[in-house]
Amino acid sequence: MDKIVFALPGNEQLVNAIVNGLKCEQGKFEFRRFPDEETYIRLESDVNGKEAIVVCTLDRPDNKFLSLYFLAEILKDAGADKITLVSPYLAYMRQDKKFNPGECVTSEHFANLLSGFVDELITVDPHLHRIKSLESIYAIPTKVIQSAPYISKWIKENIKNPILIGPDIESKQWVSEVARDAGAPYTVLLKSRLGDKNVKVSIPHIHKYLGSCTPVIVDDIISTALTMIKTIEHLKEEGAKPLVCIGIHAVFAGNAYNELKQSGAARIVTCNTIVHETNEIKLDAAIIKLLS
Ligand code: R5P
């Protein structure tokens, strides 16, 4: 089936890489906002009988979701045979449980909505915690790219004698893999989140590595950056420097990036699942391979 690739605004870099990698057509559509901020969208390409690949990373999802839905609807209306969504950052994976009575388990509802209008989902390291796999909430086929081999490659090429630190128990899944690939030691801390902006992280006991190793904190999402900042505070108290922070998804809410820079991180590196100046680890090749 012929493929045609569409970029929702902000996803042009990855779409260019996919179009070049797959040697396929780039889809065209007019997209603008009316003065009242409603969306106008008009398809300009022929998609009849083709697989339409729509690229839309889903950080800040509430602003993007309707545009994605409208695009998928006009693609189907114009005869696309299959709609594949490439969403390197998949939103609404964190509220996966009712912590308090009356709360909405947004992970499930978001999965239901997306499953209703795309045929396949490709993403990178979704935040799987209490939900063990995407299949348990998504009704469509899903494919997941693991960033661990790309992160360990970056570490091997850039950091001498790393000691990896996962700031919470969920991070063990990435940190242990990255450490194995990079042939480096690792430790995982305990974290309690007491509120959106109140995080406590246990003290990393890495004395024996200090002096000979560079501490590298690895986490999946950097949002408020408090998880990283609190870990850095402990490491600095232990006399560790310089510190490297690696996040898979550069969400960086509000002023988080500046706050992380000011906290003493010597280097902040992310994967290019959300466009950001820290995107040193590119996953384009892995995405193209899955789409081939
Ligand atoms: C949480 O469970 C995740 O793995 C990350 O540790 C978390 O999302 C980081 O959030 P923040 O940057 O707001 O501390």
Widest distance between CA atoms in the chain: 63
Residue 210 has pLDDT above 90, yes or no: no
Going by C-alpha positions, the residue among 251, 230, 223 that lies closest to residue 165 is 230
Residue 34, judged by CB atoms within 10 A of its CB (0-12, 13-18, 19+), counts as exposed
What pLDDT, in 10s, does the model give residues 178-189? 999 999 999 999
**What is the atom index within ligand 1 of the atom nearest the CA of 223?**
12
Which is it for strands 265-271 and 243-250: parallel, antiparallel or unpaired?
parallel
Query: Given pLDDT bands bounded at 50, 70 and 90, which one contains residue 173?
Result: confident
DSSP letter assigned to residue 276: -
Give helix 172-182 / helix 148-158 axis angle, nearest 10°.
50
CA distance 145 to 232: 28
Q: Which of 107, 168, 221, 278 to mutate to test the pocket of ligand 1 (most atoms within 8 A of CB)?
A: 221
CATH architecture of 148-281: 3-Layer(aba) Sandwich (3.40)
117 Cα–ligand 1 center, Å:
29
What is the pTM assigned to this prediction? Answer: 0.95
Residue count of the chain, please give it.
Answer: 292
DSSP letter assigned to residue 153: H
Mean pLDDT confidence for 214-218: 95
| Comparison of pLDDT for 197 and 285, the residue scoring more | 285
What pLDDT, in 10s, does the model give residues 92-141? 999 999 999 999 999 999 999 999 999 999 999 999 988 989 999 999 99
Mean pLDDT confidence for 60-86: 98
- CA nearest ligand 1 atom 8, residue: 221
Tokens of 115: 């499953």
Residue 41 has pLDDT above 90, yes or no: yes
Q: 176, 230 in Cβ contact below 8 A?
A: no
- 3-145 CATH fold: Rossmann fold (3.40.50)
The secondary structure of 68-97 as a DSSP string is: HHHHHHHHHHTT-SEEEEE-SS--S-S--S
167 Cα–ligand 1 center, Å:
9
282 Cα–ligand 1 center, Å:
21
**What is the atom index within ligand 1 of the atom nearest the CA of 197?**
13
Containing 115, the helix (H) or strand (E) segment is helix 106-115
CA distance 123 to 105: 20
Q: What's residue 290's pLDDT?
A: 97
Where are the chain's structural domains? Answer: 3-145, 148-281
Give the residues surrounding ligand 1 with Cβ less than 6 Å away. 167-168, 170-171, 199, 219-227
- CA nearest ligand 1 atom 13, residue: 224
Which is it for strands 162-166 and 142-145: parallel, antiparallel or unpaired?
unpaired
Residue 61 has pLDDT above 90, yes or no: yes
186 Cα–ligand 1 center, Å:
18
Q: Do domains 3-145 and 148-281 have the same CATH topology?
A: yes
Mean pLDDT confidence for 5-28: 98
